[in-house]
Structure 1
């Protein structure tokens, strides 16, 4: 069905239209053109921008789905309409098995040829002061090479993929550019957000001259945290390090509850590097399968997993502490048995609760935690699960300052003290809440746990914890 050009004369919040258009310099080829109007239109004059899809990434969910397009719009401040233009996937898939970033790809000729199209796709209000210039935005990330390892579908997360990537790091001025190998988990509903990322290292004996995605076998390295906000979350444990040290000296392993497992990088790190017994709560069993198969999550010892809604599970565990059974309340326990003993056992309480959840609705943008988690009853359940000196650390991505301030107000109503760690990437903060005043009964020089914590995390994060 032919498109009516008048369709694009007005801005309609959240309207998404995709169509094909003849390639101006390749007669036998088609372009895919997608137009999305921002869900919330700016109050001032409209702004329209275009973006050319990087070559060979046309089938990447970031560029080929409405949810990915929406995240690009939300990440471009003040844009009323974003026009995406890229090659049309051949037989529904045009990306090679292994993606390599194009070198010196020049789209200037295409920009000139398609300027009439961009003007035709602009609203009438943009022409009030004459013929406008449509800015061309560029998409840049640090991915040099990429291969999809598996695509699968979960009952809650929906379509997801595991991919191995080679990235550039240390590209700031004065830094030496390094190349690293990573494994990532992404969901189609939020394709621009990396759910889990771990470092990959080649198996011993690999020829160092042949290192490359698709050329050698890699294994997950679970001894380091590479996702930007995970090290700051772990650094928050320094607030109760003396209590953890005392636990260790008395022969007890500290306990952590991780709400939101993903690939399990945080759980594996807490177990292997800091000696925690860990319980993980994840809404989707397929995500846990992926974590075991591709991200090195081993739940055979000291890590136990529960499938269920985060808030419901926390409330039911708290209920269990009063003598009720989890199965009675419909929570699915891990195959290796119940991790709780009886309601009077102090081990039913956790030393730390770490929350890494994001909104499941792409229309909300990238928000963490989801609004339902910060309701009073959910926070009270978390507080009930903490031991007397316990802390809750939560990854926060706030769409606005008002959202963050409201979040802090909700936490203040339930918890004793609040602390903040700025991750330093202009996106994430770690909010830390304590059940009671933080105390230190062991000197730092005698605290082997604190020394270990400083060794395995960036000490700068421990030093930057700020009371709010």
Structure 2
């Protein structure tokens, strides 16, 4: 292959094609033709920079998974490797059918077998390297492997939303350290960001006797006619949600005092997804909750498959979260205080922002750039009680953006705190409007908070 189009790097260039299969293997890459996808990073490289190129063999049975067959999935894979200039995906060429409803992890490829496979496709990969990579001789080929913790996955519903586009609800069994207690989850996944799990909750199989059973694997359970499935909204399993709730520690005394005075705590959640955070705040922390979600189809999925109840104590607003709060701020400048603004007619104890970028080209990032503005933070202040807090899930593209967000929050609020999520991707920031008061161990609200979430997160709160 000597197509000149591959000889140079072109930012964001994405090309797919098929080639006759040069591999002689009974199990892997065994279709007559192979599908090849080549993506150049959106980030241009300097003229004197030796680009980093990598190839990946698409995992067996994942060829039509959005992670591997869409440009957005390919882009997210590329962004997972720092400094990568070009990513080449090579997989079986399958008919253009929708993503298969069931995935079962195949046996692990033997190391020797995999090395043989890589040797056989080496000429193809070499031909797809930019010309600059050969300045000092033949480049060292870099092969990546894809691993996740999914053992079994079944798609149970498909949706198309006017804002988020295509998305699926899926039930999965994940790797577990305890074979007698299977790790089952219900998840929400968008095609525009396929490698990002938008929401997940524990999946509870219920048999005829009404008892839950997590000892059987999901594949066996789905074959049982008497098995039904429910979700558990009393616990949080998404990595950053528990740290977000932990941020309430900073105003626990204020909340306890208001509860003793007969007030109900109120939370505004910007971004709903499957609604796990809203349900938890409502059922476990006894908050009244208002959620803002841009796509009505996502709310339908949350209510139908994730146990989100839309009632008196949980109100849902369809709209862009940033526009909704800024419109409220504009309304707050008028004298018409008798008109309710879709559930935003009373102030909140906490505003929780779980908003990610809608553009895969920006990589996985949260909150979106349009949220990090003085006008947005001023609008949030108008929504909060004097003791209130803003809690944000943060996935920064880089340290500069993270530091800008921290500084903007410091300029708009009294204090800014960080909470260690325990991974390299997420941070939780908490911005307070007033000084934090001491938390008495007899505080009823604090006792409830410690009873439903890990105390380690509260202990890791630090002022920035």
Q: TM-score, normalised on structure 2? A: 0.91
Q: Please state how far the C-alpha of 1:97 moved relative to its aligned partner.
A: 3.3
Distance 1:91 1:320, change over 3 A: closer
Aligned twin of 2:370: 372
Q: Please state how far the C-alpha of 1:320 moved relative to its aligned partner.
A: 4.4
Distance 1:210 1:18, change over 3 A: same
1:22-55 Cα distance to aligned partner (Å, 9 max, x none): 2232786221100001111444311111001111
Partners of 1:148 and 1:28 in 2: how far apart?
25
Aligned twin of 1:198: 201
Aligned twin of 1:111: 118
Partners of 2:414 and 2:100 in 1: how far apart?
54
Question: What are the equivalent positions in structure 2 for 1:12-91 lying under 5 Å apart?
Answer: 12-23=10-21, 24-25=23-24, 29-43=32-46, 44-91=49-96
SS at match of 1:391: strand
Q: TM-score, normalised on structure 1? A: 0.90
Q: Is the 8 A contact 1:352 1:390 kept in 2?
A: yes
SS at match of 1:144: strand
1:334-361 Cα distance to aligned partner (Å, 9 max, x none): xxxxx355xxxxxx11000000001111
Q: Please state how far the C-alpha of 1:409 moved relative to its aligned partner.
A: 1.2
Aligned twin of 1:345: none
Q: Is the 8 A contact 1:238 1:462 kept in 2?
A: yes
Partners of 1:429 and 1:177 in 2: how far apart?
33
1:212 and 2:212 matched: no
Aligned twin of 1:265: 276
List runs of 5+ in structure 1 lacking aligned partners. 334-338, 342-347
Partners of 1:151 and 1:247 in 2: how far apart?
43
SS at match of 1:432: strand
Aligned twin of 1:291: 302
SS at match of 1:262: coil
Aligned twin of 1:235: 246
Size of the aligned set, in residue pairs, is 445
SS at match of 1:92: coil
Q: Is the 8 A contact 1:349 1:385 kept in 2?
A: yes
Partners of 1:229 and 1:209 in 2: how far apart?
27
SS at match of 1:119: helix
1:131 and 2:138 matched: yes
Partners of 1:52 and 1:28 in 2: how far apart?
13
Q: Please state how far the C-alpha of 1:444 moved relative to its aligned partner.
A: 2.2
Partners of 1:412 and 1:281 in 2: how far apart?
25
1:129-167 Cα distance to aligned partner (Å, 9 max, x none): 222221110111111111111121111111111111111
SS at match of 1:117: helix
Q: Is the 8 A contact 1:391 1:432 kept in 2?
A: yes
Question: What are the equivalent positions in structure 2 for 1:331-342 lying under 5 Å apart?
Answer: 333=342, 339-340=343-344
Distance 1:206 1:265, change over 3 A: closer
1:375-426 Cα distance to aligned partner (Å, 9 max, x none): 1111100011100100000000011111111111111111111000020111
SS at match of 1:55: coil
Partners of 1:325 and 1:310 in 2: how far apart?
22
1:99 and 2:103 matched: yes
1:75-104 Cα distance to aligned partner (Å, 9 max, x none): 1112111100111123535x6532111112
Distance 1:123 1:22, change over 3 A: same
CA-atom RMSD in angstroms: 2.2
Q: Please state how far the C-alpha of 1:315 moved relative to its aligned partner.
A: 2.2
Partners of 1:34 and 1:340 in 2: how far apart?
47
Q: Please state how far the C-alpha of 1:186 moved relative to its aligned partner.
A: 1.1
Partners of 1:59 and 1:74 in 2: how far apart?
20
SS at match of 2:418: strand
Partners of 1:437 and 1:404 in 2: how far apart?
23
